[in-house]
Amino acid sequence: MNGCHDLIKRILLPDVPGPEKKLFKGTIDHPGLYLWDNWGFKEDGKTHVYSLAASKAHSSRDRHFHVHWRHFVSSDDGKTWKDLGAVLTPRKEDRLFDSQSIWSGSVTKLKSGKYIAAYTGLDPKREFLQSISFAVSDDAHNFKRAYDGKFPALSHELHRDKFLKAGYYVDTLENLGKRTGEKNNSIQALRDPFLLEDEYGKVHIFWAAKSFDENGNVVSSIGHGLIHDFNSPRSIEILPPIKPSDGQNFSQLELPNVYQRSDGKYVWIIGTTNRQTEAQAEHETQMAVRAYLSDDLGGELEPIGDDSALFYANDKSVYGANLIQDFTDGIDNQNPMTRVFSVGESNDSNFSLPPNFKLELPEEN
């Protein structure tokens, strides 16, 4: 009976449904999709949010391998949301670096007027084998993959020597992407890219990474690179990793975000967890949203206030804060909006996107 029930669900709930006709009020609780990690921007009075989405034909635990990017837009500061449908989907028929699934990333608008999506691709060769690449758009919805879609921009397989030379931890090729974790309980981290174009027109990319502490232990870090040409996968300069000063308090770092304050300092928002393997149950892990400061876009990050943890997701049932900056000409971005996704309490709970809220950052020491 269970097999028949699952078949009916798959027929009634397609993997990538068309846009939902109704407007969502405040919370985006999609009838056919799990929604979780989300990011976006605001421009000309419209808030654009992109979210990981997976059909509820699958269990919530299996959703990670059936993901596409969903696009929602609001013209009233998040009071109501319109579903515009999918913008990036896995290329399952081609068996490429992103054919297994599409994971988190970011969308930014460059000074050239182009919208760039940076995303995580999962390779079907191994279920957690990650890489990072880009897609380009003129309208923030119709994205075309960079490099003709054939090559990832960053890959532990293709660029292993460059990562090692820059100080990153990369396990042996045969261990990359293993579900049970890797050497020293280190799960592969090459995901959640965030793009930032600085005041000089340089495009920085940051991602969830692993590196080493002074004792040679593997620690969670933020990867850092410069993108010199979106038309060439060889144009990315891999820079040394950025390390939170309290990195020993968690095993994984996710969803890095950064913006520059009016005093010139940089504010960093990340999600963290003490997960040891990808097979671990959600209730066995502790997740937090943390905030840091730095003087520049490199070096060590210091907690804002006495403790970097703003709150623990286990207490508030939210995780993964993402900044939404305003790309409208002349807008000051010193206090961007922040979105999070809801974390379900059971394996088959409905994942949804809650209303916008702003993080209250503590005073500096």
Give me the pLDDT at residue 175, please.
Answer: 83
pLDDT band with cut points at 50, 70 and 90 for residue 134: very high
Tell me the mean pLDDT in the region 113-134: 91
Token pair in block for residue 355 = 């209303």
The amino acid that residue 192 corresponds to is D
- Tell me: pLDDT of 315 over 90: no
Counting beta carbons within 10 angstroms of the beta carbon of residue 118, is it exposed (0 to 12), middle (13 to 18) or buried (19 or more)? Answer: buried
Give me the pLDDT at residue 347, please.
Answer: 38
In CATH terms, 87-342 corresponds, of 3.90.1690, 1.10.3470, 2.60.40, 2.115.10, to 2.115.10
CA distance 307 to 295: 18
Higher pLDDT, 110 or 173: 110
Mean pLDDT of the chain: 85
Give me the pLDDT at residue 365, please.
Answer: 45
Tell me the mean pLDDT in the region 333-357: 66
Residues 6+ apart with CB under 8 A from 155: 97, 131, 132, 190
pLDDT band with cut points at 50, 70 and 90 for residue 348: very low
